[in-house]
Amino acid sequence: MSKKALIIGGGTAGCTAAIEMSKKSDWSTILVEKGSSLGAGVSTNFKAGHPYTYGPRHFLSHNEEVFKYLNNIVPLRRCKEHQFTSFIESDSQFYSYPIHEDDFDKMPDSRNIKEEISVLDEKYKNAEFKLTKGEERLEESANNYEDFWIKSVGNTLYNKFIKSYTNKMWQTNDNTIIDDFTWSPKGVAIKKGPREGWDSAISAYPYALNGYNDFFALAGKSVKTYFNTSVDKINPKTQEALINNQWEKYDVIINTTPIDHLLEYSFGELKYIGRDITFLILPVEFVLPKDVYFTYYCGSEKYTRVVEYKKFTQYKSPHTLISLEYPSSRGRLYPMPTEIERERAKKYFDSVNDDFYSIGRIGAFNYRYDIDDAIEQAIKVTKSL
Ligand SMILES: Cc1cc2nc3c(=O)[nH]c(=O)nc-3n(C[C@H](O)[C@H](O)[C@H](O)COP(=O)(O)OP(=O)(O)OC[C@H]3O[C@@H](n4cnc5c(N)ncnc54)[C@H](O)[C@@H]3O)c2cc1C
């Protein structure tokens, strides 16, 4: 008799798990998705012909194997050229992000900045960071997000680029509560040489106008999928899940959704930040400069980022689609990177048995996990079964 697996949530992690589980002849797997389609914010929709996702969603990775895996299903265009910029309201200027040393001379307070940098510890200002993993040595020696940035770039640059943006992004007045930080410099705190955002990692986006959708369609075809269905409760000891008012037992549960909800918030609610998005179509072919795919707003406006979708999708049109993202309390998308929340998440993870896996950005409650990590984790878990 085949063993039974339940996958909760049909985003990147759940869909990868579905594709992989379908290759195992001794398993019978179902996927349960509360929405009406697969892929969550990574799936492509169309507005007046323009393809778009929910926020940027490009594939960023140091992992060639995961790149090859996805590229086999949805061929990916390497877009190494892509740059990010930050608008610094106080200077009324756009600069490169990661913070670039060639921009210092354009800054009104360049003297201060250079003086501050000259006295910084080399191990901070010249550190390099992988996307998912940080630099453990620094993580141990910086006390928190604010401390890490001030040690890496000095007070003036921290105040310009990081302070208010981080307050906005995490909906806090106090950046010292954030104790997980080495994801934030995007590779390096002060960049030298190329202005490309990710010259040391793979940066890619699907060639197809419908983006990653064929990947999600393959997942839907691979296992029996239930749409508009929510898993709202599990019994962590017996491996039973409540689906459509019926308890069902599974040999394995792969969860990619907020674990607190499944366990009736028994250790309190885990804090996630959501995102509201506004889309605009503007009467110009391109809004952002060549090779700039998106730009951050460091100042008093409430949005964090402007994304120009054509830069990713290569869609041809005389007009362009952009989005503005607003951090919000609606939606559970960005797990709060604080110790108190991680400890709460750990209590949930410790309370389930070994055949319950919680993966992906949402399921593992880890903001560092991007598309590549969600795929990697799903492959790893399914391989182990
Ligand atoms: C705005 C934004 C922009 C991003 N941009 C990038 C980027 O450019 N590059 C990158 O690599 N990463 C990016 N990410 C992160 C990346 O997209 C995610 O880490 C990854 O896609 C997460 O996949 P997941 O499967 O873990 O979770 P999700 O994609 O969130 O999937 C979870 C799924 O579970 C479903 N669900 C929730 N609760 C239940 C329930 N109770 N029962 C059944 N189903 C349920 C949801 O509807 C959803 O479909 C971005 C994230 C956001 C929010």
Examine the domain organization and report whether 119 and 148 are in the same domain. yes
Residue 305 Cβ < 6 Å to ligand 1? no
* Residue 54, in any domain of the structure: no
Q: Is the CB of residue 30 below 6 angstroms from any atom belonging to ligand 1?
A: no
Distance 114 CA to ligand 1 centre (A): 40
Show which of 135, 162, 197 is a domain's final residue: 197
* Domain identity same for 115 and 142: yes
In a domain, 294, yes or no: no
Query: Exposed, middle or buried by CB within 10 Å (0-12, 13-18, 19+), for 194?
Result: middle
Amino acid 200: pLDDT: 81
Ligand 1 atom 7, closest CA: 57
What is the model's pLDDT at position 66?
98
Q: Which of 57, 61, 226, 334 to mutate to test the pocket of ligand 1 (most atoms within 8 A of CB)?
A: 57
**Whether residue 331 has its Cβ less than 6 Å from ligand 1:** no
pLDDT score of 162: 96
| pTM for this prediction | 0.97
For residues 27 and 91, state if they share a domain.
no
Residue 191 in contact with ligand 1 by CB distance below 6 A: no
Q: Is residue 109 part of a domain?
A: yes
Ligand 1: residue whose CA is nearest its atom 29: 11
Q: Are residues 115 and 188 in the same domain?
A: yes
Provide the CATH number for the domain around residue 218: 3.50.50.60
Ligand 1 neighbour 202 (Cβ under 6 A): no
258 and 365 together in one domain: yes
> 12 CA to middle of ligand 1, Å?
7
Ligand 1 neighbour 197 (Cβ under 6 A): no
Is the shortest distance between the CB of 169 and ligand 1 below 6 Å?
no
Q: What angle do CA 286, 288, 289 make, to 5 degrees?
A: 100
What's the 154 CA to ligand 1 centre distance in angstroms? 34
CB-ligand 1 contact for 256 (6 Å cutoff): yes
The answer to whether residues 36 and 178 belong to one domain is no
Say if ligand 1 is within 6 A of residue 219 CB.
no
Q: Do residues 186 and 141 both lie within one domain?
A: yes
Closest protein CA for atom 53 of ligand 1: 333
- Name the residue type at position 167: N
Domain extent at residue 148: 83-197
Q: Do 185 and 232 fall within a single domain? A: no
374 lines ligand 1 (CB under 6 A): yes
Closest ligand 1 atom to Cα of 262:
41
The answer to whether residue 307 sits within a structural domain is no
Which of 194, 378, 385 minimizes the C-alpha distance to 369?
A: 378
Q: Are residues 147 and 220 in the same domain?
A: no
Q: Is residue 290 part of a domain?
A: no
Asked if residue 97 is part of any domain, the answer here is yes
Grouping H, G, I as helix, E, B as strand and the rest as coil, residue 212 is coil
Domain count, the chain: 2
- Whether 369 is in a domain gets the answer yes
Do 168 and 242 lie in one domain? The reply is no
CA 204–ligand 1 middle distance (angstroms): 18
- 3-state helix vs strand vs coil in the chain, percent to 5: 30, 25, 40
Q: What is the DSSP letter of 106?
A: G
Q: Look at residue 70 and tell me if it is in a domain.
A: no
**What would the pLDDT profile of 315-336 be if each residue is shown by its tens digit?**
999 999 999 999 999 999 999 9
> Are residues 125 and 229 both part of a single domain?
no
Query: Which residues are CB-contacts of 113 (< 8 A; sequence separation ≥ 6)?
Result: 104, 107, 154, 156, 157
In the chain, which stretches have pLDDT less than 50? none
CA 175 to centroid of ligand 1, rounded, Å? 24
Residue where a domain stops, chosen among 166, 197, 228: 197
Contact predicate 294/82, CB 8 Å: no
pLDDT at residue 134 in the model: 66
Q: Which of 174, 197, 220 is the last residue of a domain?
A: 197
Does 87 share its domain with 157? yes
